Every structure is written in C-alpha cells, then in structure tokens.
Amino acid sequence: MAVKVLIPTPLQKFTNDQATLQCEGGTIAELLDSLEQNCPGIKARLCDEQGQLRRFVNFYVNSEDIRFLDGANTPLQAGDEVSIVPAVAGG
C-alpha cells in the first residue's frame, strides 16, 4: 500500500531534507508508524503524549482534510497522496 507523503519544512530534518516520501500504511495511523520506522523521531512531532494527532497539524488525503473523512482511521489506497500541513497558515 505505497502512498506518497508530502513533508512540511519543519519536519524535513527527519527526512534528509526530502519534501516527499513513499511510505506504507492502510490508514493514517499505520502510516504514522511506518513514517516513524523510516524517520525516527518524526511521530513525536506529529502526535502528542497520548498518541493523538497534534492540534496544530492537519492531514489531507488526496486534498481532503481527514477531519471530513475518518480522522486517523481514514483508509489509504495505493497511489494516494497524503499531505501533512501545519495548521496555522493563511488568513
């Protein structure tokens, strides 16, 4: 289940400055574990101590905010594009 992940600038130090990665995962939650395996330390930036997605990070699957889908349980298909975006922007 390979998906393309867009990495925001503040996290690119975990990805050798790569802005995109190919990653595995059937859901957003699984994708986070897979990201952590490839880029140790990245999950703690995306999730709080309780393992919940941080309040100031938004996830999009094929341009749709996962809060309009199924949150961390949003299913992923091969070829999907997941974008991780800091919430505080615009306006």
Partner 1 sequence: MTQALQSFTQSQTAIASTFTALRCKECGAEYEPKALHVCEFCFGPLEVAFDYNALSRVVTRETIQAGPNSIWRYRPFLPVMSESPIDVGTGMTPLLKSTRLARRLGLKQLYIKNDAVNMPTLSFKDRVVSVALTRARELGFTTVSCASTGNLANSTAAIAAHAGLDCCVFIPSDLEAGKVLGTLIYSPTVMAVHGNYDQVNRLCCEVANTHGWGFVNINLRPYYSEGSKTLGYEVAEQLGWQLPDHIVAPLASGSLFTKIYKGFQEFIKVGLVADKPVRFSGAQAEGCSPIAQAFHEGRDFISPVKPNTIAKSIAIGNPADGVYALDIARKTKGNVAAVTDAEIIEGIKLLAETEGIFTETAGGTTIAVLKKLAEAGKIDPDETTVAYVTGNGLKTQEAVQGYIGEPLTIEPKLDSFERAWERAQTLDRLEWQQVLV
Q: Which residues contribute to the site for partner 1 (CB under 8 A)?
A: 6-13, 19, 45, 54-58, 60, 63, 65, 67-68, 83, 85-91
Given the complex with partner 1, which of 26 and 42 has the nearer CB atom?
A: 42
34 vs 58, which CB is nearer to partner 1?
Answer: 58
Can you say whether residue 72 is alpha, beta or left, with left for phi > 0 and alpha for psi between -120 and 50 degrees?
A: alpha
**What's the min distance (Å) between Cβ of 29 and partner 1?**
18
Give min distance, CB of 11 to partner 1, in A. 8
Task: Note whether 33 and 54 are within 8 A (CB).
Answer: no
Residue 56 CB-density burial (10 A; 0-12 exposed, 13-18 middle, 19+ buried): exposed
